[in-house]
Structure 1
């Protein structure tokens, strides 16, 4: 029975009781969603690694051909692609711009390390771990 404050006899609101009854189901649902998110995060991390690996191979070509590391047109094209993607998929343009700023900064670091290395990189086996980093 509710008192005048909308509370049941145990001193809890009906909404609190509803949450306690549905909590086991919500817990299972959250666990399932978190497992899905963990799989997606793994794919995202693998994609970031793969992207940096390709940029490392690009750096080998730039080094071999004496092409400058920084390519402003390419950076602009990558940002434009992210902006367009964000707009088409109802995502934050600022978020994707910031994300790509981080990705580009890291790939520039990797490319610089390869281009400026004293020893020529192994063109077939260049990997991100070969240039280190924190």
Structure 2
């Protein structure tokens, strides 16, 4: 049972890192939204979304992870980033 507790503690540590990295990634997306707004760049960049998904699937495959799992996770992350960027861009437009 002690070993199971150790495994769970390690998983918890990794999960905390994952959540912190997602937070860091979304923080960068906030800066991206501001940049897009200042430079009249559309929020949605379909080619970039496709590029991210293809790269992450490839990495998953290289690491012997299920590429569909990784793609699904990244679809959620990208969706949240798009929502965040859209909200920021809209709020900046209202200030003008």
| TM-score of the pair, normalised by structure 2 | 0.94
For residues 38 and 100 of structure 1, the distance between their equivalents in structure 2, rounded to whole angstroms, comes to 21
Deviation string, structure 1 residues 49-101 (Cα, Å, up to 9, x no partner):
00000011000000011100001111111001111101101111110111011
Alignment match, 2:34: 60
- The alignment status of 1:46 with 2:23, answered yes or no, reads no
Q: Which runs of 5+ in 2 are unaligned?
A: none
**Which is greater in Rg?**
1
Alignment match, 2:80: 106
- The alignment status of 1:91 with 2:62, answered yes or no, reads no
The Cα RMSD (Å) is 1.0
For residues 9 and 67 of structure 2, the distance between their equivalents in structure 1, rounded to whole angstroms, comes to 27
Alignment match, 1:119: 95
Higher relative contact order (CA 8 A, sep 6+): 2
Aligned pairs, how many?
94
Q: Which runs of 5+ in 1 are unaligned?
A: 1-26, 121-134
- Structure 1: which 4+ aligned runs deviate by more than 6 Å? none
